[in-house]
Amino acid sequence: MIDEVLRQVTGSMNQFFRVRFGLSEDVVVLSSLVNHDGSPAVLQDNKIVATLLNIEPEKITTATGGQFSGAGRTSSVNAPVYVNLHVLFSGHFPAGNYAEALRFISGVIAFFQANVTMQRNDAGAQAPELDKLVFDMQKFTYLELNQVWGMLGAKHMPSVCYRIRLLSVNENQLREQRPAVSGVQPDMNRV
């Protein structure tokens, strides 16, 4: 589910970049920056790498489960979980192409400025979890930025981080199923 949403976002961004920069191939890739062994995860230069930094619960939205009746049975399901994703977009360009990395990071910012939200009915949006996503640019202090790059195990690159808000996780799995109560008759003889 998270992968589908991030593929949708990066796919939409690639479409935006094709028009904006006249490209014929995808520039935005969904990947970590460094493999577990410390080697670079992205071997091609001139890419924008989208990396998931963190998943956090959405604290504003509360949802409750529900009960449904039908066919003589009552079923209950758990409430959906709403999460926020923090995604880092990094310019993976060779040293001699630093200005180009900045141009594409500016393109990422322009994409999110033009697409503050994304809904299921937006062009190409296929992920069923994508009811409505809201994109917010995140601010890091220098210390936090240092910690992020240290955590990733990579050297600093031109980058920008966005929070993708209100992703719904709902498996619709039945929690419980019971026969429905019917035909309850009050006992009038009880005192």
For residue 60, name the pLDDT band (cuts at 50, 70, 90): confident
Please report the sign of the dihedral spanned by the C-alpha atoms of residue 53, residue 57, residue 58, residue 63.
positive
From 135, 39, 50, select the one nearest 91 (Cα to Cα).
50
Over range 27-53, report the average pLDDT: 95
Please give the angle made by the CA atoms of 155, 84 and 101, to the nearest 5 degrees. 30
Model confidence at 177, in pLDDT bands (50, 70, 90)? very low
Backbone angles phi, psi at 11, to 5 degrees: -65, -45
Distance CA 146, CA 159 (A): 12
Q: Is the pLDDT of residue 174 over 50?
A: no
- Give pLDDT tens digits for 132-151: 889 999 999 999 999 999 99
Class at the top of the CATH hierarchy for domain 2-171: alpha beta
Dihedral angle at the C-alpha atoms of 53, 110, 134, 170, nearest 10 degrees?
A: -60
Query: How much is the mean pLDDT over the chain?
Result: 83
* Model pLDDT, residue 115: 94
Assess contact for 8 and 127: CB atoms under 8 A. yes
Residue 171 has pLDDT above 70, yes or no: no
Instruction: Determine the average pLDDT of the residues in 36-41.
Output: 91
Between CA 54 and CA 52 the distance in angstroms is 6
CA–CA distance, 187 with 189 (Å, rounded to integer): 6
User: Is the confidence at residue 18, as pLDDT, over 90?
Assistant: yes
Do 76 and 67 contact (CB within 8 A), yes or no? yes
Which of the 8 DSSP states describes residue 180? Answer: P
> Where is average pLDDT lowest: 24-33, 54-63, 69-78, 147-156?
69-78
What's the pLDDT score for residue 79?
A: 74
- Lowest average pLDDT, out of 51-60, 62-71, 160-169, goes to 62-71
Sequence ranges of the domains in the chain: 2-171
* pLDDT above 90 for 179: no
* CA neighbor of 9 nearest in space, from 104, 101, 115: 115
Q: pLDDT, tens digit, for every residue of 91-129?
A: 999 989 999 999 999 999 999 999 999 875 554 555 555
**Residue 100 vs residue 70, higher pLDDT:** 100
**Pick the residue with more confidence: 166 or 115?**
115
What does the alpha-carbon distance between residue 5 and residue 2 come to, in Å, rounded to a whole number?
Answer: 5
Higher pLDDT, 81 or 18: 18
